[in-house]
Amino acid sequence: MTSTDSTTTSAADPVPAAGGEFGDEGTLVVEQHFAIVPEWVIDADISDAAYRLFSVLLRYGQSSGTRMPSRALLARRLRRSVDSIDRALKELVAIGAVVVERRRQ
């Protein structure tokens, strides 16, 4: 991936240029999967776990009424326990970032 003129760094190989700096030369390649997080959520007084959970929830659907993935799936994806997901979700509800509506039987 390295030539004499440029360096390509991917998410799987984030190696900085010599001296610990990312030089002006080269190309940064990242996956095209992303979520846009609103500024007010970035600045909110929430834990890192809640912030990461919000980012993952955005990836599952940007529109209102989208069904949330299971808590177990979210726990596996974020490498946390289901209890940690529940606590993070409560933080997001408390700041108004997420509204949870229970399914009607």
d(CA 95, CA 58): 16
Q: Is 26 in contact with 9 (CB distance < 8 Å)?
A: yes
Q: Are residues 47 and 87 in the same domain?
A: yes
| Within-domain flag for 78 | yes
Report strand pairing: 8-10 vs 27-29: parallel
Query: In this structure, what token pair is assigned to residue 79?
Result: 């490498």
Q: List pLDDT tens digits, range 58-91.
A: 887 765 556 778 899 999 999 999 999 999 999 9
Identify any residues that bridge with 29 across adjacent strands, giving them in sequence order: 10
Phi, psi (degrees; rounded to nearest 5) at 32:
-85, 5
Range of the domain at 12: 1-32
| Within-domain flag for 103 | no
Domain count along the chain: 2
Q: Are residues 61 and 20 in the same domain?
A: no
Rounded to two decimals, the pTM is 0.63
Residue with tokens 């929830």: 57
Q: Are residues 57 and 78 in the same domain?
A: yes
Q: List pLDDT tens digits, range 3-23.
A: 444 444 444 444 454 555 655
d(CA 103, CA 19): 55
* Contacts of 34 by beta carbon, 8 Å cutoff, 6+ apart: none
- Over range 89-103, report the average pLDDT: 88
